[in-house]
Structure 1
């Protein structure tokens, strides 16, 4: 299986400290050595870098950490290949354009060979079940709402319903973002922590590095970090419930309406 890392922040932040520990899981402190990728937003547009090699031994991954990239939303992934060969096209996150915004998606799990093929506007480029699921989800949204984005609460409910349908095929932990909102769904294992005043001093689990968050954040900063497994000691990481979908915006968790008020979503 793979591992996921997501960050949602009130203001643009650097994810360098989290990356220092998380990317070691790509071939050093864990066995996810078949590729890695990072997606982040600059305005409405997503930037993405992917590489079909172990993140822990990647010069590119090291440069990304050193650049101190700042964004309000990050999605990061280290891959252990299950479906699809070791190639850049099969590395997460995946990116598509919908409703004038870039969407990023990364998945941890196995949805099986019975996952339907996508027959709509969005088609996979690689061979992974993950990218196919992403395309299926976006095609369902287009079939349901057309080319005009619905209100956030309606969209949240639609994504929740679509995710539940796709999860019938197997394990579906994922991160999804349009640059404003970050969706995180747990099937088997996912944790999150919210960082706000008073900030703590924390230590990475994967290496002997500490940071005093109070020295690097302002009083009004608010950051939510989501990960397959906790990244730090000294913080109160909260486990998702199996099947739970959470949405984060500007560092805070938002409520999701669970019931659709319009017709049910169906596969294209």
Structure 2
């Protein structure tokens, strides 16, 4: 299956280090070579931006010239969603590369999925329609359609998380539904089988990368005010305390902190 990578940061931050290791899983240290993509919500000064700088490629992330450029070109963001693909549903084409992006309530939303959904054929009657042929994009379109039906305008992160908690099980019952979702202000993560996160903040330490034989002192790359969350399918480092999310757990991260920790069943009943 595919792998996911996300970042949520208190201040504008670069994902260059994590993306460098993660992209090696797209055909080098792992077999996820059927395309890749990444979306950066670029910051407007110190505030989160509404628009995303968006890159997708049907080539392997380990060999793609675009991925190589991003490994050396820092883009400062509050929220990032990235994906390397191992195709299960849908051909290896550009339109089937994650993440996917749509507009809702005057903001761009991006979504990436790891898993396989069986017999998932929801009725789409709004303006959200898939461009490609993946079950992932279909799930994203249905989620946005139902969110739009539930809220006339953009709700708070807490309200939105409760609505997602009601919607997610309707998709997850069809198979594996690990996903990352962001609107540039926050990052939502749902674990169906496997998802990990780590919080990095002052005092920053040295990290040992898992996919490349390198060590990096994070104190040289960050200031004391920095605080960020990295979410990934499999941990990117060997010496950090990565937290494994439980099956069915839905989290929302904002300003580099977790805001909600609960199973979707708990949230739906709250």
Tell me if structure 1 keeps the 8 A contact 2:120–2:171. Answer: no
- Relative to structure 1, is the Cα distance of residues 236 and 256 closer, same or farther in structure 2, using a 3 angstrom cutoff? closer
Name the counterpart of 1:132: 138
Does residue 1:161 correspond to 2:166, yes or no?
yes
Offset from partner CA, 1:8-60 (integer Å, 9 cap, x none): 01111111110111000000100000000000112111121000010001111
1:265 maps to none
1:170 corresponds to 2:175: yes
Using the TM superposition, give the Cα deviation of residue 256 of structure 1 relative to its aligned residue in structure 2, in angstroms: 5.8
In structure 2, stretches of 5+ residues that fail to align are 43-48
Counterpart contact for 1:35–1:50, Cα < 8 Å: yes
Matched, 1:12 2:12: yes
Q: TM-score, normalised by structure 2?
A: 0.93
Separation in 2, partners of 1:115, 1:186: 21
Q: Deviations over 1:139-169 (max 9, x none)?
A: 00111113x1123211110012111211111
Aligned to 2:65: 59
Q: Deviations over 1:100-142 (max 9, x none)?
A: 1100000000011333242222111000000000000000011
- Give the SS at the match of 1:77: strand
Q: Whole-Å Cα distance in 2 between the matches of residues 150 and 63 of structure 1?
A: 36
- State the Cα distance separating 1:73 from its structure 2 match: 0.6
Residue range with higher mean Cα deviation, 243-252 or 108-117 = 108-117
Q: Is the 2:209–2:238 contact (alpha carbons within 8 Å) kept by the matching residues of 1?
A: yes
Which stretch of structure 1 is more off in the superposition, 94-103 or 156-165?
156-165
Alignment RMSD: 1.3
Structure 2 partner of 1:235: 240
How many residues get paired?
A: 260
Deviation at 1:260, TM superposition (A): 6.4
Quote the Cα distance in structure 1 between the aligned partners of 2:53 and 2:75.
11
Q: Distance in 2 between matches of 1:17 and 1:234?
A: 15
Per the alignment, residue 82 of structure 1 pairs with: 88
Correspondence for 1:249 among 223, 248, 254: 254
- Aligned pair partner of 1:142 in 143, 148, 151: 148
Q: Corresponding residue for 1:264? A: none
Aligned partners of 2:65, 2:129: CA distance in 1, in Å? 31
Q: Match of 2:4, SS? A: strand
